[in-house]
Amino acid sequence: MRDYEHAIRHLNQLLADLFVLHTKLHRYRWYIKGTNFFTLTDFFYDFCKEVAQDIDEVGVFILTIDGQPFATMETFLEHATLKEAQADDTETEIIDQLIADLQMLDKQITSFVPSEQEKSVVHLFYQLRTKYNKRKWMLQTYQTYHH
């Protein structure tokens, strides 16, 4: 584990933020209102399923490098940098917040500088970064045409 200590800390931080993002997407799906309800509820549903898979992938990866993934809500909230959602957010606030969250995740992922032993972690981060940047682009495009 010593060889991967830095990576495990970074991965657990990401795991905590992914749990918050997953919960936010559920909340947004349940509370979205307005003329774009059908479009956004489907987007949130698909994105939520994707994040759930990523949570599992990150947690299992931590286990494969002899780490212990965070596994309680208390720990997730204690370590997360993303903030919980508000039920009364408007559509615009929801989209703005998700874009900001994805920018924060991108910063977090790109700030990881692996040691020689931690190079295997880079592939996982690259995959997640690519996926979340695509979602951010989709939200920004949506935002451009719906404001």
Which pLDDT does position 101 carry in this prediction?
Answer: 97
Q: What's the rounded Cα separation, in Å, for the pair 24 and 20? A: 6
pTM: 0.92
Which pLDDT does position 119 carry in this prediction?
Answer: 82
What sign does the CA torsion over 65, 22, 73, 111 have? Answer: positive
Which pLDDT does position 69 carry in this prediction?
Answer: 98
Q: What's the rounded Cα separation, in Å, for the pair 33 and 78? A: 30
User: pLDDT tens digit string along 70-107?
Assistant: 999 999 999 999 999 876 788 999 999 999 999 999 99
112 pLDDT above the threshold of 70: yes
pLDDT band at 147 (very low <50, low <70, confident <90, very high): low
Which pLDDT does position 1 carry in this prediction?
Answer: 52
What sign does the CA torsion over 41, 46, 50, 53 have? Answer: positive
